[in-house]
Amino acid sequence: MDISLANPRGFCAGVDRAIAIVNRALEVFGRPIYVRHEVVHNKFVVDDLRQRGAVFVDELHQVPNDAIVIFSAHGVSKAVQDEAQQRGLKVFDATCPLVTKVHMEVTRYARLGTEAILIGHAGHPEVEGTMGQYDTQYGGKIYLVENEDDVAKLQVSKPNELAFVTQTTLSVDDTARVIDALRAKFPAIQGPRKDDICYATQNRQDAVKMLAQSCEVVLVVGSPNSSNSNRLRELAERIGAKAYLI
């Protein structure tokens, strides 16, 4: 039996950076270090950090006043940032720089009064954070779509003042189809100057495409709640290989 390894593989630079921030905080300040949401969707990494003193929480009300808190690589909403500041929490922001770029795009659209459409998966921490960066006080609104069916049903208030952004960990091919549907329905829609999907996500999807074309079975080593891992399994399966997430 021949075994081939995808190249590139493993964590992206943004995840490595987030893990390093938690490790450094534990070294400098000691336990406990609070982390809002799992710093990365990987059980082995999270369990190791937890054993060493990281406390993973879903919401800031679970963090004591004046404690140290780290925002995960997925980013947070403006409301979470404001709450942390108001409560005097010492914050280390491990948000992936590419996610921050999307946040800045959304913030700019909001201030211009331009409505925004986020292509992403409902309930994902990155999506919740990005949606929460859009300030509606300027008269606009942000919408979430996951697929072409959502685009078909979508009604916006300002079709001529409209822009889209994307979650950074989506399927490149699926997202391209959703973008095509948006451009067909809303001809005036604006998009980012450069694709929001992370280059590491795209590189790993390209690597899996190559593997799936020459292998009968593709095993994706990742956590069930990892968007990237699930997209890789789906991609390999779509190409024709038997694919499993383990």
Spatial separation of the C-alpha atoms in residues 103 and 23, rounded to whole Å: 25
Same domain, 172 and 114: yes
CB atoms within 10 A of CB 94: 24
Query: By the 8 A CB rule, do 189 and 164 touch?
Result: yes
**Residues 103, 50 within the same domain:** no
- Say yes or no: 83 and 105 in one domain: no
Using alpha carbons, list the distances in angstroms from residue 6 to 71, 208, 240.
30, 6, 17
Domain end residue (candidates: 77, 95, 113): 95
The reply to whether 135 falls in a domain is: yes
Q: Does 116 lie in the same domain as 78?
A: no
89 — pLDDT class (breaks 50, 70, 90): very high
Mean pLDDT of the chain: 95
- Is a pLDDT exceeding 90 seen at residue 227? no
Owning domain of residue 213: 201-245
pLDDT digits (tens, 9 = 90+) for 131-154: 999 999 999 999 999 999 999 999
Helix (H) or strand (E) holding 117, with range, is: strand 115-119
83 given a catalytic annotation: no
User: Does pLDDT of 39 surpass 90?
Assistant: no
Same domain, 62 and 123: no
From 78, 95, 112, the end of a domain falls on 95
One of 38, 126, 161, 234 is an active-site residue; which one? 126
Q: Is residue 22 part of a domain?
A: yes
Instruction: Provide the number of structural domains found in the chain.
Output: 3
- Asked if residue 190 is part of any domain, the answer here is no
Pair (79, 17) in one structural domain: yes
Helix (H) or strand (E) holding 143: strand 142-145
28 plus 43 within the same structural domain: yes
